[in-house]
Amino acid sequence: MKEKEFDLITFGRSSIDLYSQDIGADFIDIKGFDAFVGGSPLNIAVGATRLGAKVSLLTGIGNDKVGDFIINFLKEQNVNTDTIARIDGARSSAVVLGIEPPDRFPLVYYRDNAADSQVTIDHVIAAKIDQYKILEISATALNIEPSRSAVFYAVETAFDNNVEVFLDMDFRADQWKDLRSFGLMVRAILPKVKIAIGTEEEILAATLQHADQVHISHQQISAPEIKGDIEASIQKIIKSGPELLIVKRGSKGATVYYKDGNKRDVPGFPVEILNVLGAGDAFASGFIYGYLQGWDIYKACRLGNASGAWVVQKSGCANAMPYHDELIQFVDSWGGL
Amino acid sequence: MKEKEFDLITFGRSSIDLYSQDIGADFIDIKGFDAFVGGSPLNIAVGATRLGAKVSLLTGIGNDKVGDFIINFLKEQNVNTDTIARIDGARSSAVVLGIEPPDRFPLVYYRDNAADSQVTIDHVIAAKIDQYKILEISATALNIEPSRSAVFYAVETAFDNNVEVFLDMDFRADQWKDLRSFGLMVRAILPKVKIAIGTEEEILAATLQHADQVHISHQQISAPEIKGDIEASIQKIIKSGPELLIVKRGSKGATVYYKDGNKRDVPGFPVEILNVLGAGDAFASGFIYGYLQGWDIYKACRLGNASGAWVVQKSGCANAMPYHDELIQFVDSWGGL
Amino acid sequence: MKEKEFDLITFGRSSIDLYSQDIGADFIDIKGFDAFVGGSPLNIAVGATRLGAKVSLLTGIGNDKVGDFIINFLKEQNVNTDTIARIDGARSSAVVLGIEPPDRFPLVYYRDNAADSQVTIDHVIAAKIDQYKILEISATALNIEPSRSAVFYAVETAFDNNVEVFLDMDFRADQWKDLRSFGLMVRAILPKVKIAIGTEEEILAATLQHADQVHISHQQISAPEIKGDIEASIQKIIKSGPELLIVKRGSKGATVYYKDGNKRDVPGFPVEILNVLGAGDAFASGFIYGYLQGWDIYKACRLGNASGAWVVQKSGCANAMPYHDELIQFVDSWGGL
Amino acid sequence: MKEKEFDLITFGRSSIDLYSQDIGADFIDIKGFDAFVGGSPLNIAVGATRLGAKVSLLTGIGNDKVGDFIINFLKEQNVNTDTIARIDGARSSAVVLGIEPPDRFPLVYYRDNAADSQVTIDHVIAAKIDQYKILEISATALNIEPSRSAVFYAVETAFDNNVEVFLDMDFRADQWKDLRSFGLMVRAILPKVKIAIGTEEEILAATLQHADQVHISHQQISAPEIKGDIEASIQKIIKSGPELLIVKRGSKGATVYYKDGNKRDVPGFPVEILNVLGAGDAFASGFIYGYLQGWDIYKACRLGNASGAWVVQKSGCANAMPYHDELIQFVDSWGGL
How many Å apart are CA B288 and CA B303, to the nearest integer?
9
Interface residue B153 vs chain C (CB under 8 A): yes
In a structure prediction context, what are the per-residue pLDDT tens digits for chain D, which is 337 residues long? 557 999 999 999 999 999 999 999 999 999 999 999 999 999 999 999 999 999 999 999 999 999 999 999 999 999 999 999 999 999 999 999 999 887 788 999 999 999 999 999 999 999 999 999 999 999 999 999 999 999 999 999 999 999 999 999 999 998 999 999 999 999 999 999 999 999 999 999 999 987 777 776 554 455 677 888 999 999 999 999 999 999 999 989 999 999 999 999 999 999 998 888 899 999 999 999 999 999 999 999 999 999 999 999 988 788 999 999 999 999 999 999 9
pLDDT interval class at A6 (50, 70, 90): very high
| Residue D91 β-bridge partners | D114
Residue to mutate among B110, B144, B217, with most A CBs inside 10 A, is B110
Pick the closest to residue C39 from C16, C20, C22, C23 (CA basis).
Answer: C16
Q: What are A156-204's pLDDT values in tens digits? A: 999 999 999 999 999 999 899 999 999 999 999 999 999 999 999 999 9
Distance between CA D288 and CA D8 in Å, rounded? 9
Q: Taking CA C105 as the corner, what is the angle to CA C103 and CA C109, rounded to the nearest 5 degrees?
A: 150
Asked if pLDDT for residue B216 goes beyond 80, the answer is: no
Nearest to A120 among D156, D178, D188 (CB): D178
Nearest CA in chain C to D98: C65
Identify which has the larger pLDDT, C104 or B102.
C104
- Report d(CA B95, CA B221) in Å as an integer: 12
Whether A218 shows a pLDDT value over 60: the answer reads no
Q: Testing the interface with A: which of B36, B37, B96 to mutate, by most A Cβ within 10 A? A: B96
Say whether residue B68 is in contact with chain A using an 8 A CB cutoff. Answer: yes
**DSSP secondary structure, A138-161, as one string:** EGGGGSSTTHHHHHHHHHHHHHHT
Whole-number pLDDT of residue D220: 47
Under a CB-based contact definition with an 8 Å cutoff, are residues D42 and D74 in contact? yes
Strand segments (E) across chain C: 6-11, 15-20, 32-38, 55-58, 60-62, 85-87, 93-97, 107-110, 132-138, 164-168, 195-199, 214-215, 225-226, 244-248, 254-258, 263-266
Please give the DSSP secondary-structure letter assigned to residue B19: E
Query: In this structure, is the dihedral angle defined by the CA atoms of residues C56, C62, C63 and C66, taken in order, positive or negative?
Result: negative
DSSP C80: B
3-class state of residue C196 by DSSP: strand
| Cα separations in angstroms, A120 against A58, A134, D175 | 11, 20, 17
DSSP designation for C57: E
| Among candidate residues B11, B37, B219, B15, the one with its CA nearest the CA of residue B112 | B15
Q: Which of A36, A42, A35, A48 is nearest to A84 (CA)?
A: A42
Bond from prior residue into C102 cis (ω within 30 degrees of 0): yes
Domain count, chain A: 1
**Domain CATH number, residue A185:** 3.40.1190.20
Contact B188 C188 (CB under 8 A): yes
Chain C nearest-CA distance from D113, in A, is 6
A256 by DSSP, 3-state: which?
strand
Chain B contact for C153 (CB, 8 A cutoff): yes
C1 domain-assigned? no
* DSSP category for residue B93: E
Which residues lie below 8 Å from residue C169, measured CB to CB, with a gap of 6+?
Answer: C139, C186, C196, C197, C198, C199, C202, C203, C205, C206
A152/D188 touch (CB, cutoff 8 Å), yes or no: yes
Q: Contact at 8 Å (CB) between D18 and C65?
A: no
Q: Considering the domain boundaries, does residue D1 fall inside one?
A: no
| Percent of chain C predicted with pLDDT > 70 | 96
How many whole angstroms separate alpha carbon A213 and alpha carbon A224?
Answer: 10
Q: Report pLDDT for A116.
A: 98
Q: CA of B236: which chain C residue's CA is closest?
A: C160
D179-200 burial, b if ≥16 CB within 10 A, otherwise e? bbbbbbbbbbbbbbbbbbbbbb
Residue B256: which of B204, B196, B166 has the closest Cα? B196
Say which residues have a Cβ less than 8 Å from residue D244's Cβ, sequence separation at least 6: D194, D195, D196, D238, D256, D257, D258, D259, D297
Is C120–B153 a contact, with Cβ atoms under 8 angstroms apart? no
Q: Taking a C-beta distance cutoff of 8 angstroms, is the pair A210, A218 a contact?
A: no
For residue B107, give the amino acid letter.
L
Q: What is the pTM of this model?
A: 0.94
Give the tens place of pLDDT for each residue, C80-121.
999 999 999 999 999 999 998 877 889 999 999 999 999 999
Is C146 in Cβ contact with B184 (below 8 Å)?
Answer: no
3-class SS letters over chain D: CCCCCEEEEEECCCEEEEEECCCCCCHHHCCEEEEEEECHHHHHHHHHHHHCCCEEEECEEECCHHHHHHHHHHHHCCCECCCCEEECCCECEEEEECCECCCECEEEEECCCEHHHCCCHHHHHHHCHHHEEEEEEEHHHHCCCCHHHHHHHHHHHHHHCCCEEEEECCCCHHHCCCHHHHHHHHHHHHHHCCEEEEEHHHHHHCCCCCHHHEECCCCCECCCEECCCHHHHHHHHHHCCCCEEEEECHHHCEEEEECCCCEEEECCCCCCCCCCCCHHHHHHHHHHHHHHCCCCHHHHHHHHHHHHHHHHCCCCCHHHCCCHHHHHHHHHHCCCC
Going by DSSP bridges, is the β-strand pair D254-258/D244-248 parallel, antiparallel, or unpaired? antiparallel
pLDDT tens track for C154-185:
999 999 999 999 999 999 998 999 999 999 99
Q: Where are the beta strands (DSSP E) in chain A?
A: 6-11, 15-20, 32-38, 55-58, 60-62, 85-87, 93-97, 107-110, 132-138, 164-168, 195-199, 214-215, 225-226, 244-248, 254-258, 263-266
User: Could you tell me if residue D190 is inside a domain?
Assistant: yes
User: Is B315 a domain residue?
Assistant: yes
Closest C-alpha among B137, B140, B118, D113 to residue C178: B118
Contact predicate B16/B92, CB 8 Å: yes
**In chain C, which residue's Cα lies nearest the Cα of D111?**
C112
Distance CA B220, CA B95 (A): 11
Assess contact for B323 and B330: CB atoms under 8 A.
no
Mean predicted confidence (pLDDT) in A215-226: 61
Which residues, numbered 289 to 308 in chain B, qualify as contacts with chain A under a Cβ-Cβ cut-off of 8 Å?
none
Contacts of B260 (CB under 8 A, 6+ apart): none
Does residue A1 sit within a domain? Answer: no
**pLDDT one-digit tens code per residue, B272-299:** 988 888 999 999 999 999 999 999 999 9
Residues of chain D contacting C96 with CB distance shorter than 8 Å: 16, 65-66, 94
Q: What is the DSSP letter of A115?
A: G
CB contact under 8 A, A64 and B33: no
- Are the C-beta atoms of D287 and D295 separated by less than 8 Å? no
Instruction: Report in angstroms the alpha-carbon separations of C92 from C39, C115, D46.
Output: 11, 5, 30
Closest to C29 measured CA to CA, from C102, C109, C98: C98
Query: Are A246 and A268 in contact, with CB atoms under 8 Å apart?
Result: no
Going by the DSSP 8-state scheme, the letter that residue C54 receives in this structure is -
Listed residue (A70, A122, A121) closest to A91, CA to CA: A70
Q: Domain range for residue A157?
A: 6-333
Query: Is B156 within 8 Å of C189 when comparing Cβ atoms?
Result: no
Alpha-carbon Rg for chain C, nearest whole angstrom, is: 18
State CA D148 to chain mean position distance. 16
CB C259 within 8 A of CB C310: no
The predicted-structure confidence for C184-242, as pLDDT tens digits, reads as follows: 999 999 999 999 999 999 999 999 987 777 776 554 455 677 888 999 999 999 999 99
The span from the CA of B39 to the CA of B42, in Å, is: 5
Cβ of B112 and A91 within 8 Å? yes
For residue C177, give how far its alpha carbon lies from the nearest alpha carbon of chain D (Å): 10
Q: Give D20 to chain A, closest Cα distance, Å.
A: 36
- Inform me whether the C-beta atom of residue D66 falls under 8 Å from chain C C-beta atoms: yes
In a mutational test of the C interface, the residue from D108, D172, D174, D177 whose CB has the highest number of chain C CBs within 10 Å is: D108
Report pLDDT for C2: 57
Q: Do chains B and D touch (3 or more CB pairs under 8 A)?
A: no
